[in-house]
Amino acid sequence: MDFNYKRRATVSVNVGGIAMGSEWPVRVQTMTNTATDDVEASAAQCQRIAYAGADYVRLTAQGVKQAESIGDISARLRAQDCNIPLIADIHFNPNAALAAAAVCEGVRINPGNFVDPARTFKQMEYTDEEYAAELGRIREALLPFIAVCREHHTAVRLGVNHGSLSDRIMSRYGNTAAGMVESVMEFLRVFVQEQFLDVVISMKASNVVVMVEAVRRLVAAMDREDMHFPLHLGVTEAGFGEDGRIKSAVGIGALMAEGLGDTIRVSLSEEPEEEVPVARKLVDYISQREGHDAILTESNPGYDALAPERRATFTVNRCIGGSQQPVVIASYRPDELDGADLQPDFYYSSDGLIDGMHQFLVPLDCWRGERNVYPLLTLGEWDRSPATDLRFLQLPASTPVERLEFLRDRNDTVLVITPVGKNIPGEQQAFTHALDAAGIKCPVVVRNTYTDSSSEWLQVKAGADLGAVMLNRRADGIWLEAPNCHSCADVVRYAFAILQAVRQRISKTEFISCPGCGRTMFDLQTTVQRVQQATAHLTHLKIAVMGCIVNGPGEMADADYGYVGAAAGRVSLYKGKQCIEMNIPEDEAIDRLIDLIKEQGDWV
Using the predicted structure, report yes or no on whether residue 39 has a pLDDT greater than 60: yes
Using the predicted structure, report yes or no on whether residue 424 has a pLDDT greater than 90: yes
Could you tell me the CATH number of the domain that includes residue 165? 3.20.20.20
Which of 501, 518, 551 is where one domain is finished?
A: 501
Q: Is residue 313 part of a domain?
A: no
**Listed range (131-140, 275-284, 494-503, 559-568) with the worst mean pLDDT:** 559-568
Do 494 and 541 fall into the same domain? no
Over residues 84-108, the mean pLDDT reads: 96
Neighbours of 523 (CB within 10 A): 13
Domain that holds residue 579: 510-599
Closest CA to 512 of 463, 454, 555, 554: 555
Based on the structure, what is the number of domains in the chain?
A: 3
Using the predicted structure, report yes or no on whether residue 577 has a pLDDT greater than 90: no
pLDDT for the residue 550: 65
Using the predicted structure, report yes or no on whether residue 496 has a pLDDT greater than 70: yes
Do 456 and 555 fall into the same domain? no
pLDDT for the residue 397: 98
Strands (E), 288-369: 327-330, 346-348, 360-363
pLDDT for 171-222, tens place per residue?
A: 888 889 999 999 999 999 999 999 999 999 999 998 999 999 999 999 999 9
For 341-357, give the DSSP string.
S---SEEE-TT----SS
Distance CA 318, CA 588 (A): 48
Which of 501, 533, 551 is where one domain is finished?
A: 501
Length of the chain: 604
- 389 Cβ neighbours under 8 A, 6+ residues apart: 316, 317, 412
Q: Is residue 317 part of a domain?
A: no
Using the predicted structure, report yes or no on whether residue 518 has a pLDDT greater than 90: no
For 375, the 3-state DSSP assignment is strand
Do 482 and 532 fall into the same domain? no
| Whole-number Cα distances in Å, 591 to 30, 370, 548, 597 | 33, 51, 19, 10
Contact by Cβ (8 Å): 246, 266: no
Q: Is residue 6 part of a domain?
A: no
Q: Which residue has the higher pLDDT, 515 or 397?
A: 397
Distance CA 295, CA 140 (A): 48
Strand-by-strand arrangement of the 542-546 sheet: 510-513, 542-546, 561-567, 570-575, 578-585
Do 54 and 190 fall into the same domain? yes
Which of 234, 259, 287 is where one domain is finished?
A: 287
Do 458 and 524 fall into the same domain? no
Do 48 and 176 fall into the same domain? yes
Using the predicted structure, report yes or no on whether residue 448 has a pLDDT greater than 80: yes
Per-residue buried b or exposed e for 328-358, using 16+ beta carbons within 10 Å of the residue's own CB: bbbbbbbeebeebebbbbbbbbeeeebeeeb
Q: Is residue 470 part of a domain?
A: yes
Could you tell me the CATH number of the domain that includes residue 581? 3.30.413.10
Distance CA 25, CA 386 (A): 52
Closest CA to 238 of 573, 497, 530: 497
Give burial (CB, 10 Å; 0-12/13-18/19+) of 117.
exposed
Give burial (CB, 10 Å; 0-12/13-18/19+) of 79.
exposed
Three-state SS string over 20-84 comes to ECCCCCCEEEEECCCCCCCHHHHHHHHHHHHHHCCCEEEEECCCHHHHHHHHHHHHHHHHCCCCC
| Whole-number Cα distances in Å, 168 to 160, 172, 181, 213, 556 | 14, 7, 14, 21, 19
Q: Is residue 321 part of a domain?
A: no
Do 83 and 137 fall into the same domain? yes
Q: Strands 570-575 and 561-567: what pairing?
A: antiparallel
pLDDT for the residue 121: 64
Do 418 and 458 fall into the same domain? yes
Closest CA to 211 of 239, 178, 251: 251
- For residue 455, the number of C-alpha atoms closer than 13 Å in the C-beta half-sphere is 14
Using the predicted structure, report yes or no on whether residue 108 has a pLDDT greater than 70: yes
Do 242 and 336 fall into the same domain? no
Q: Is residue 314 part of a domain?
A: no
Do 435 and 582 fall into the same domain? no
Over residues 505-527, the mean pLDDT reads: 80
Q: Is residue 480 part of a domain?
A: yes
pLDDT for the residue 49: 98
Do 140 and 283 fall into the same domain? yes
Using the predicted structure, report yes or no on whether residue 551 has a pLDDT greater than 70: no
pLDDT for 452-495, tens place per residue?
A: 999 999 999 999 999 999 999 999 999 999 999 989 999 999 99
| Whole-number Cα distances in Å, 82 to 85, 273, 345 | 9, 16, 52
Give residue 22's pLDDT band: very low, low, confident or very high (50, 70, 90). Answer: very high
Over residues 426-455, the mean pLDDT reads: 97
**Listed range (118-122, 290-294, 341-345, 555-559) with the worst mean pLDDT:** 118-122
Using the predicted structure, report yes or no on whether residue 131 has a pLDDT greater than 90: no
Could you tell me the CATH number of the domain that includes residue 342? 3.20.20.60
**Listed range (46-55, 70-79, 563-572) with the worst mean pLDDT:** 563-572
Distance CA 68, CA 65 (A): 5
Do 422 and 471 fall into the same domain? yes
Q: Is residue 491 part of a domain?
A: yes
Over residues 399-405, the mean pLDDT reads: 97
Per the prediction, the chain carries an average pLDDT of 93
